[in-house]
Structure formats: C-alpha cells, structure tokens
Structure 1
Amino acid sequence: MKIEKDQSQEDLTAKRKRGRPKCFNEQEALQKAMLLFWEYGYEATSMSDLTQALNLSAPSIYSTFGDKAQLFQHCLEYYLQHEACPIEPIFQTAKTAKIAIELYLYETVKRLVQDHKPTGCMLVVAAMNCSEENQSLQQDLLLKRQQVKEKIYQHLQQGKATGDLSIHANVQEMTDFYSTVIQGLTMQARDGVSKQQLNQVVDYAMQTWHVLIKEN
C-alpha cells in the first residue's frame, strides 16, 4: 500500500511540474506576433500589444517564447521561413545569373507588397531607429541582410567562373548595386509605392545589366 501511495504522489508531482497543457497554437501565435513586429517595429510593439493580438497573458507568452527579445527572434525565424523571398531555390534553378537576379527582384516585390500584410522587408524595417539598448538586435538584422548579400555575391562569382558572366564583370559592384536596389524597393514599399511602380524599378535595374557586366 505504501508503494502505491508513493507512486501516486510521484505521478501528481510530475503532473504539477509539467503544468497545464497549452491551449493555443504556437505557430498561429508566432504569425500574429510577427505581423506586429513587421508593421510597427520592435520598440514600438509593446507587451500589451502582443497580449491583445495573441489573446494570451504575459506569463503564457513568457513561458512559451521567452521575453520580448526572444519572442522577436522566434518571429524573425518564422518570417524567414514563411514570408521572406526564397533566394536559395531561385538561385539553384535559374539557368543564368541574370535570370536568377531578375527572378529574385520580381519575387521580392511580390513579398514587399501583399494584401493584408505589412509592406517592406522585416529584416530592414523591424529594428529601424532602435535605441542604444537594442543595438544588438539591429546588428543581428544587419548580419542577416549581409548573409543575403553574400549569397548574391557568391552566385554572381559562380556565374563568372562558369563563363556565364564576362571575365570583365566586377562582381562586387554588381552585388552592391542590386543589394541597394533591394533595400530601396523595401523603403519605397513602406512609403506606399505600388507593386506596378516597383516592378518598373526592377525593369530599369535589369536594363543596366549589360553595363554592369562590361559588355561592349
């Protein structure tokens, strides 16, 4: 009898440690939080905003995702997986470097201006004008943007190595140019510029291709 009693006590203790089961969908909560950070930025989004949007208490958010900074990181990963332009598949399947860049720019425009979603790129707009105490967050986003830029550079460099690009092409200049175009597109999208206008910018950007690769 004592053994059964001890076992029952252990089971009860284990249940208490596990706590109550979560009664919400974590992915849906992440999506809602991501939309807030994407629209208003990290600092302008308060815990009060998050609890109202997610319909969760602050303790529930903390126990599941951590503090606000940790929740933002979770949202950032969600954004990269579900909302950011998929650079790897585009670069892997495009037949030439020019087609890869062109497809990536047009697909980026689609992601920057969507119905019922914030405009612009979360990697650019979510931590703009952060205070000094959140500089590490800005640095993390900068690193992620630089990783995208590095992928563009590597793909163009590969095109040059395989003969797809002229040996006279300056890959660094091309990377700088198209990376600047991408960031310009996101700021224009935030300012309310239409998808049609942004696509026209992409048209002009691609018309300069022959100049950038030093074609005669």
Structure 2
Amino acid sequence: MPDKGRPRSFDRADALMRAMQVFWEKGFEGASLTALTAAMGINAPSLYAAFGCKEALYLEAMELYAQTVGTEIWQPMETAPTAREAFSRFLVATAKAYSQPDTPHGCLIALGGLHQSAIPKAVCDALSRHRTENVDKLRQRLEAAIAEGDLPDSLDPEAVATFYATVQHGMSILARDGGSYQALKNVADGAMAAWGMLTREDSVRRP
C-alpha cells in the first residue's frame, strides 16, 4: 500500500492506460517490468505501491480493455433490429477495433495468454472467463431472437455463438499478423455469408 502521507506523483489512470497498451502489444509474458515502467513513466517501487504486482496490474489492464475497446465492439449490437444485423455490426466493429493505426492490432484478451504455462493461474482464469462471457453474450442474443420469432426454434444458439466467437478470435490473429481493416472486413463478410446456412433463418414463418 502507498504511504498515506505521501501523495502519488503520477496519474494512476493514465499509468494504467499505458500499461494496457504494453500488455496489448506484448501479452502478459512478453511485457517486462522494464517495458511497463518505461511506458508508465514510473519506477518499479511506484508500480508495486500503486498496483501490487505485475499480475494485479495485468488484471486491471484487462478490465480497462474490456470497458473501453470491448464496449466499442459490443455496443453496436444493442440497437440492431435483427440478430443478423447485430452479428454483422459486431464483426464490423471488431474489424475496426482490431486495426486502428494508433493502438496495437488484435485483441488483448484473445492474444494475451496464448502460452498458458508461462502465466499465473489467476490471469489464465480471467482470460478464460472473458472469452466464455463473449460466447455467452452472442448466445443470449441468439436466444432472444428465437424468443422473438426472428430465428427458428431448431437453431443451436451455443454452436452458432461459438462459431462467430471463433471467427472473431481468428480476426485477432490476422490483425496481429498485419491484416488491414479491409482484410478483416472481408472475413466478417464471409462469416455473415454463412448466416443463412447456420441459422436456417429462411425457415421462419413471418407474418
């Protein structure tokens, strides 16, 4: 804990944002203490006093990513009139978020801990939880569409949600490998071209 009688000489929120950028670019295992403190503009004792340890810093950075970049990706789904439009908006927003010129490409959560043996269990568990929650959000949107009569009762929402979450994961890897927005958008368009086959949307009897 920092000394209560000595105010911090840095902006904690700004330092966390800078740490998030390092973790986003390098992953947990690739982000050295030297790289983190240099980006945050603080020394190691200040980092430990403010955040506890590298693991705790990563967990905070991951939550910040979910609240900022994650919101940019998921929010467009909320006002979509149909499930098809919701998923299309989700993938297009993903393409945009993963290819911004001023941030690391790809997804911090998808790419943050590919080598799980090299990272703490708490970090692995948090990454896994976020990925599971993403599938759950997609599944819940599909279940709502079934209840509304937008999609047929025969649809397997878990399978379709997992498919589109996997597409998003692949877009993250493509972006990290240098894929442009247009390349990511092409993947999104291809995935949406499979929508009718995956959902049997045309079998719904509409008034």
The TM-score with structure 2 as length reference comes to 0.90
The one-character-per-residue Cα deviations of 1:51-80 (angstroms, maximum 9, x if unpaired) are: 222121111111111111011111111111
Cα distance between partner residues in 1 of 2:71 and 2:95: 9
The one-character-per-residue Cα deviations of 1:129-166 (angstroms, maximum 9, x if unpaired) are: 13355233122201111001001001101101110112
- Structure 2 equivalent of residue 13 of structure 1: none
Cα root mean square deviation, aligned? 1.8
SS of 2:150 mapped into structure 1:
coil
Aligned equivalent of 1:34, options 20, 28, 36:
20
- Structure 2 equivalent of residue 8 of structure 1: none
Cα distance between partner residues in 1 of 2:18 and 2:73: 24
- Structure 1 equivalent of residue 197 of structure 2: 211
Query: Per-residue deviation at 1:174?
Result: 1.2
Figure out how many residues of one structure are paired with residues of the other and give that number.
Answer: 201
Cα distance between partner residues in 2 of 1:184 and 1:85: 19
Question: Cα 1:133–1:203, aligned 2, differ >3 Å: closer, same or farther?
Answer: closer
SS of 1:41 mapped into structure 2:
helix
The TM-score with structure 1 as length reference comes to 0.87
> Sequence identity, in percent?
34
Question: Cα 1:144–1:107, aligned 2, differ >3 Å: closer, same or farther?
Answer: same
8 A contact 2:29–2:118 mirrored in 1: no
SS of 2:124 mapped into structure 1:
helix
| Of 170-179 and 59-68, the range deviating more from structure 2 | 170-179
SS of 1:116 mapped into structure 2:
coil
- Structure 1 equivalent of residue 87 of structure 2: 101
Structure 1 spans left out of the alignment, 5+ residues: 1-16
8 A contact 2:73–2:97 mirrored in 1: no
Query: Per-residue deviation at 1:117?
Result: 1.0
SS of 1:101 mapped into structure 2:
helix
Determine which structure has more spread, i.e. the larger CA radius of gyration.
1
- Structure 1 equivalent of residue 128 of structure 2: 142
Question: Cα 1:175–1:188, aligned 2, differ >3 Å: closer, same or farther?
Answer: same
8 A contact 2:142–2:157 mirrored in 1: yes
Cα distance between partner residues in 1 of 2:154 and 2:117: 43
SS of 2:87 mapped into structure 1:
helix
Question: Cα 1:82–1:88, aligned 2, differ >3 Å: closer, same or farther?
Answer: closer
Structure 2 spans left out of the alignment, 5+ residues: none
8 A contact 2:88–2:192 mirrored in 1: yes
8 A contact 2:59–2:126 mirrored in 1: no
- Structure 2 equivalent of residue 190 of structure 1: 176
Query: Per-residue deviation at 1:128?
Result: 1.5
8 A contact 2:28–2:58 mirrored in 1: yes
